Amino acid sequence: MVHFSTRAILAATRSPEVHQAPSAIPIYQAAAFSAADAEELGDVLTGARPGYAYSRIDNPTTAALGAAVAELEGAEAGLAFATGMAAIHAALVSVVRAGQTIVATQAVYGTTRDLITRILAGLGVAAEFVDPTDLAAVDEALDRSGAPVLYVETVSNPTIIVSDIAALADVAHRHGALLLVDNTFASPFACRPIERGADLVMHSATKYLSGHADVLAGVVVGSRERVDACRPILVDVGGALAPIAAFLVLRGIPTLAIRMQRHSETALDLAAWLRNQDMVERVHYPGLPTDPYHAIAVRQLDVFGGMVAFELSGGQTAGQGFLDAMRIAERTASLGAFRTIITHPPSTTHRQLDAEALKASGIAPGLLRCSIGLEDVEDLREDFELGLAAARQAVAVAT
């Protein structure tokens, strides 16, 4: 008979037998998994046989998330990460080497630009930024640089430029480059870049995939070969996703279609309304027939999405006045949640960019980026009316 402490350990760690399928993916909140013998442990750790040994390497719950997003995207394989930036980092580092160049969209998330121009540049990787809608410029940049990577966003952050994924894939592959696509703003419900020729697709699963603003996560999907090339970076750099976080994203995915439909319907309504407001100089939303990317969006997106950007006359003063007046919308830098979120990109998500870089990226001083939530559209319109009135007042006081 073993003693009490030993019995307590054995009793509390004995896995129950479950013969019926659970209605949700279980949370395998374990740092390690025990093998039957030394041979099995060695085989699992070296990949000679499937299984789990240590959750930094793999975990059943996080593996389920990667597989689920891959299925939604029409990809062979998927890999879950601690954050979207960890996923983007792994995707890029799996392809590019010191002395090579990344050709990337000029309109790109500020932290992604910082990763490319500061972190990877410090490791000897060059960067060239181009207008993704100018296919001739993209072709020229790839030809001149010999870059192994073309990096774009399906819908750009924050200026809502819609990239033609199929056309860009053709250009990239003609030069022997891989096309990497951040599909966060669209979600796999709106667009599946793998089906249009992309090689790797990344998500900040924090956003629409989760939808609840309570978890950080990222995912990379693509061919098994390309995803397998990302795995050593995940394992060795330590970007593993916690099982509870994977569970929270998996919880959100079943309602993705319903949420994206509501986000899109409300966003289109507000974008059309904003176009007619006197403080608004320009509205960026591909669902508007007058938007320069409407034709691409109609061809490529199943819904136009929940992201709207608009430029206020009066610049940053007007933008700050608008934000300060919000009663329903949240003032923060995230997106893709059930609640409407508004941010001022020049001072938040793209704060790393100087005035010249902001201008080159098409980010006006008075630009506001809105992630439209699931609230009733009438209430959001009333909230925006308060914001516009406050913006007028702020500009009047300043002048």
Active site residue 109: yes
Which one of 28, 52, 58, 109 is the catalytic residue? 109
Q: Is 207 a catalytic residue?
A: yes
Note the pLDDT of residue 353: 66
Q: Which of 58, 114, 182, 291 is catalytic?
A: 182
pLDDT of residue 348: 66
Tokens (6 digits) for 245: 């976080």
Q: What is the mean pLDDT of residues 107-121?
A: 94
Q: 43, 54, 56, 331: which is the annotated catalytic residue?
A: 56
Nearest Cα neighbor of 190 from 307, 269, 271 is 307
Annotated catalytic residue 56: yes
Q: Which of 113, 192, 196, 207 is catalytic?
A: 207
Q: What ranges make up the beta strands (E) of the chain?
A: 77-81, 101-105, 126-130, 149-153, 178-182, 200-204, 218-222, 280-284, 307-312, 330-331, 341-343, 367-371
Structural domains of the chain in order of their starting residue, each with its CATH number:
55-254 (3.40.640.10), 256-398 (3.90.1150.10)
Share of the chain above pLDDT 90, in %: 90
Is the model's pLDDT at 28 over the cut of 70?
Answer: yes
Task: Summarize the confidence of residues 242-253 as an average pLDDT.
Answer: 98
The two beta strands, 200-204 and 218-222, are: antiparallel
pLDDT per position as a tens digit, 70-98: 999 999 999 999 999 999 999 999 999 99
Q: What is the pLDDT of residues 173-224, one digit of tens each?
A: 999 999 999 999 999 999 999 999 999 999 999 999 999 999 999 999 999 9
